[in-house]
Chains A and B, each alone.
Chain A
Amino acid sequence: MTTHGGFEPVFCTIVPPHVLDRLAQHADPVLAGPARRTLQRDAFERTHRRLTTVIGAATVAPRAGAEAGKPHRTVYDARHGTELPGRKVRTEGEEPGRDATVNRAYAGLGATFEHFLEVYRRDSVDGAGLPLDATVHYDREYNNAFWNGEQMVFGDGDGEIFLDFTVALDVIGHELTHGVTQHTANLTYYGQPGALNESVSDVFGSLVKQYSLGQTAAEADWLIGAGLLAPRVTGVALRSMKAPGTAYDDDVLGKDPQPATMDDFVRTGRDNGGVHINSGIPNHAFHLLATALGGHAWERAGQIWYDVLTGGELAQDALFADFAALTLKAARERYGDGEELEAVGKAWERVGVRTP
């Protein structure tokens, strides 16, 4: 077996830890060096992951002199590589540059920050002015956007199926809401709690967009990722909260697999146990509630969801029924025994989630 010779990453998985321990103590630095680095890196990643799971991501102090209640945005350019965060290209207060992707990411971070601050009095993702970082132009033809636990990352899309992921404001709102969830309920990203995590991101992603457009629940399109699909794709968006399962039906992409009710709940091990599939169910419940109440969805429906997410009672491994029960409690606490409470109960009933 080769234990050195340039393929250092091989140490990561095929060499057992006890062998690494031995190698790390070896007199020959050629053997000891990589083993030590691997142990350190593994320990760091493991501790980092554990801390992120247990207590949420570390809070980065806002830069000195930064005002509370103002965003602290930084946009980075990966220049089609995969090193994060990449080269700094725009910081808070700087004028727009020539790169439209950078400008959209910066504006989207701002719109999301404003929504959480003005509607829910939340100062950034962690409620304490966390700087908002985003990297654009990640990798080549990269058909995705994600939250890595500390920042947002956007691909340019391949132009064939997906366009630039910064074109949809709800996608930016969705990613930052993953940060809010991580700093609050910290829902486990697997199975039903994972689908709730996804759904909460869709709900607030959509609300960020509705808020910026000043739309009522009746006026909103309730789509996630509208404008993201390339022209040749048969579809309007990636998900529909109004009618889950109808966002696209395309020869290359296939058909939108989202269920709207528990009758069609999908059991799968893929996609972290179907987190992007079964999120259709709580998404639809939110849409039903918001449209039943009418007016601006971020006001009462959004407030109830926000109260549950941040109230401290939502368990990390919460199931749909646990979440639903807490929305009833939140509705009663905030609005009493009125139309809100009744509408929340009806919304869950219509998607087949039983409440007490």
Chain B
Amino acid sequence: MRIQVRRTGGFAGIERHAEVDTAERPDAGEWQALAERACADGRDTPPVGVPDGFSYQITVDGRTVYAADPRLTDEQRRLISRVLKEGA
């Protein structure tokens, strides 16, 4: 499973992008479960965010969903921070 996260906006307006290929990971099952739950709560179109809030694009195996701060589910928040931290 290929998980990509793109974060745009924010006060600084600086974009960040990272991805994780779970095939190379010993904890692939955990990643996949988290990604599925995060995507289940995502939207098909970008939600209207709040001023200076981050906007997120989560793409799992080619399917993209959208989310925005501060209305993220716990799973989305966890997935986004893990991918941006551990991904390449």
Contact = CB atoms under 8 A, between A and B. Distances in A.
A272 B9 contact: yes
Nearest to B57: A270
B8 A148 contact: no
The main secondary structure of chain B at its interface with chain A is loop
Contacts of A143: 10, 12
Nearest to A148: B50
A271 B55 contact: yes
A99 B73 CA distance: 29
Given A10-B40, A12-B41, A272-B55, A147 B50 contact: yes
Interface residues on B, range: 20 to 34
Nearest to A53: B48
B62 interface: no
A208 to B, nearest CB: 15
Contacts of B48: 49, 189
B70 interface: yes
Given A7-B37, A84-B70, A148-B50, A271 B13 contact: yes
Nearest to B42: A13
A141 B66 CA distance: 22
Contacts of B70: 82, 84, 146, 148, 153
A178 B73 contact: no
A58 to B, nearest CB: 15
A148 B68 CA distance: 11
B12 to A, nearest CB: 5
Interface string B30-41: 000000010011
B11 A174 contact: yes
A343 to B, nearest CB: 28
Contacts of A174: 11, 52
Contacts of A45: 71
Nearest to B14: A253
Interface residues of A, number: 41
Nearest to A12: B41
Contacts of A153: 70
A338 interface: no
Contacts of A189: 48-49, 51
Contacts of B53: 144, 146, 148
A257 B13 CA distance: 9
Interface string B1-12: 000000011111
A313 to B, nearest CB: 22
Interface in A202-248: 225, 238
Nearest to B70: A148
B55 A13 contact: no
Contacts of A10: 40-41
B43 A13 contact: yes
6 contacts: A7-B40, A13-B41, A146-B50, A146-B69, A148-B53, A198-B51
Given A9-B41, A276-B10, 8 more contacts: A13-B43, A147-B50, A189-B49, A197-B51, A238-B11, A238-B12, A254-B14, A272-B55
Interface of B: 8-15, 37, 40-43, 48-55, 69-73, 77
